[in-house]
Amino acid sequence: MTQDLELLNTVRLKAQTWTSELFDKETRDSVKDMLEHDEEALIEAFYKNLDFGTGGLRGIMGAGTNRVNKYTIGMATQGLANYLLTSFMDLDQIKVAIAYDSRNNSRFFAETTAQVFAANGIMVYLFDALRPTPELSFAIRELDCQSGVVITASHNPKEYNGYKVYWDDGGQIISPHDNAIISEVGNIKSISEVKFEGNSDLVHEIGSEIDQKYLDQLLSLSLNPDIIREQNGLKIVYTPIHGSGVSLVPDTLKAFGFGEVYNVPEQDITDGDFPTVFSPNPEEKAALNMAIERARELDADLVMATDPDADRVGIAVKDSDGEFILLNGNQTASLLIYYVLHQWKEKGMVTGKEYIVKTIVTTPLLTEIANSFGVKSYEVLTGFKYIADIIKQKEGKEKFIIGGEESYGYLAGEFVRDKDAVISCALIAEAAAWALSRKSNLLDLLNQIYQEFGLYKEHLKSIVRKGKSGSEEIAGMMERLRNQPPQTLAGSDVVMMSDFQKGKSFDMISDLRYDITLPKSNVLQFLTANGSIVSIRPSGTEPKIKFYFSCREKASKSVEMEQLHKTLNERIEQLIKDIGAE
């Protein structure tokens, strides 16, 4: 009780500072209302400062130090500006690019960011309207910028917004820049240290000219334009779910040669309240319901949906009974990578220096596919910034073809350094056209892959725990699993435990220890004797802990595929129970 009272008193003192004239009237009034009438809301808004993590900010919008607003955005930008001024002091002019998506306040936060940069003498290229996040990555490289910011909270609910930071290679910030920027942001102790009034001459709007250059690069990745023309009856339904994909995905599909691209008019409307869906997340079946209904009306072949900042895509494909089946991120990645590598091999483009990249929680099937085509496969921590880092490290020495992660993010080509739903939509559609040219479809192709490499089954289970108590509970779950690891999972002995935070893998049979060469991260992974993999990772951007499950069985013709699916589904259910993720 005393501890709760101490927290409330600390929060009240902190909140009082937000009622001064340094803050606008709307903010002052909101804070005063919480001080007088809502202690719970006050604590959630002020019990800590919104974490500027290794990628930037993400949180609920509103007044307070633990909220996304003009002032937390301003302090983050001032800290980033300070770091840029130190890092690039030899340049005559430091430049940054800024993009934003359809979320409420995104344009305002983008303009705020631009003004703070300009007030620090940094030149800004600000997109004239909402654009996909991957185009921001492209623009940084195209305009020779030293950094970039996109205002987005990706697929989070409508109450959220965020601030994602990129470096001069077009990738999201990683070590050492991430921790150095976090330190600089942490050094901003008062809103009075933020320069909000910028030099408008340093802010330049960009738009269609960058769109065209980006589109030209996307078109260079098409592998079968002739087949697209031949299969011009392929019908595609696409929805941006009220987000920034509306600005480029349909035009890109048409530029690739797809003539029958249909939209969902209600979801083409840019709206940060996302009125037609509960959540604008293409991982969730409900987000694609309207598009699937439209596809049924049109007798379409393929449904694609992108999240608000158009860096991730979810798809549904029609089965032999005419029903639409949603594919998960691992299945789409497998199809996409199989198609692209098959074409590279068939066209004689594989020389032995090519590679793909996947994350540690993405299906091992991708590595099997790459190996079969004589292409290397690299594995990185969760987060596309690590895929971008591999591309940067290998640039000029090896050739990146394609990469992906289970959370519906994929990338082809080297001119963008983040997951890109625009090119992914185009190449998924191209794969569908290629399958059609072989009197097949994407589901048939997926089953063919399973017959060749084995049936891989993956599942993601997320547990959400909000607020201060939720963060503590998630930390406790990780500590318990780290200190008391399971001995068996789904009836199979745990043979290896990898603790990416300690940088060690533990062989549970021989008791040997192995170094993990990847950067340290709060991730645990358990491997069983029958090849099942369970990975556990607290989200860095949301109040949740994620459990990733992967199982595999050889898919021989003597085994009915339907029965094999059932067997692996039952195994995953048991893994969920045994790891405590129910």
Query: 351-400: per-residue pLDDT in tens?
Result: 999 999 999 999 999 999 999 999 999 999 999 999 999 999 999 999 99
| 506 three-state secondary structure | strand
Q: What is the DSSP letter of 17?
A: G
pLDDT at residue 541, as a whole number: 63
List pLDDT tens digits, range 165-184: 999 999 999 989 999 999 99
Determine whether 247 is an active site residue: no
Q: Which residue, among 348, 332, 125, 101, has the nearest Cα to 223 in the 3D structure?
A: 348
Q: How confident is the model at residue 53 (pLDDT cuts 50, 70, 90)?
A: confident
Give the percent of the chain with pLDDT over 70: 99
List pLDDT tens digits, range 518-553: 999 999 999 999 999 999 999 866 678 999 999 999
Q: What is the DSSP letter of 67?
A: S
pLDDT at residue 582, as a whole number: 85
The fold of 214-453 is Alpha-D-Glucose-1,6-Bisphosphate; Chain A, domain 3 (3.40.120)
The string of DSSP codes covering 434-445 is HHHHTT--HHHH
d(CA 365, CA 361): 11
Chain mean pLDDT for the chain: 95
Q: How confident is the model at residue 2 (pLDDT cuts 50, 70, 90)?
A: low
Name residues whose C-beta falls within 8 Å of residue 443's C-beta, 6 or more positions apart in sequence. 317, 318, 319, 320, 325
Q: Given CATH 3.30.950.10, say whether it is the number of domain 48-206.
A: no
Domain ranges of the chain: 1-44, 48-206, 214-453, 455-579
| 34 three-state secondary structure | helix
Q: Is the pLDDT of residue 272 over 60?
A: yes
Q: Would you tell me how many other CB atoms lie within 10 Å of the CB of residue 142?
A: 19
Contact between 58 and 160 (Cβ < 8 Å): yes
List pLDDT tens digits, range 22-40: 999 999 999 999 999 999 9
C-alpha 467: how far from its chain's center?
A: 23
Q: What is the DSSP letter of 288?
A: G
pLDDT at residue 1, as a whole number: 45
Tokens of 278: 């509960």
Q: How many CA atoms lie within 13 A of 519 on its CB side?
A: 16
pLDDT at residue 145, as a whole number: 98
**What is the identity of the amino acid at 21?**
E
Q: Would you tell me how many other CB atoms lie within 10 Å of the CB of residue 402?
A: 27
In Å, how far are 36, 266, 424, 559 from 317, measured between CA atoms? Answer: 54, 22, 15, 24
Q: Out of 154, 407, 532, 550, pick the active-site residue.
A: 154
pLDDT at residue 232, as a whole number: 87
Contact between 162 and 154 (Cβ < 8 Å): yes
Name residues whose C-beta falls within 8 Å of residue 303's C-beta, 6 or more positions apart in sequence. 236, 237, 238, 239, 288, 291, 292, 295, 315, 316, 317, 324
List pLDDT tens digits, range 427-477: 999 999 999 999 999 999 999 999 999 999 999 999 998 777 888 889 999
Same fold, 48-206 and 214-453: yes
pTM: 0.94
Q: Domain 455-579: give its CATH architecture.
A: 2-Layer Sandwich (3.30)
List pLDDT tens digits, range 208-237: 999 999 999 999 999 999 999 999 899 999
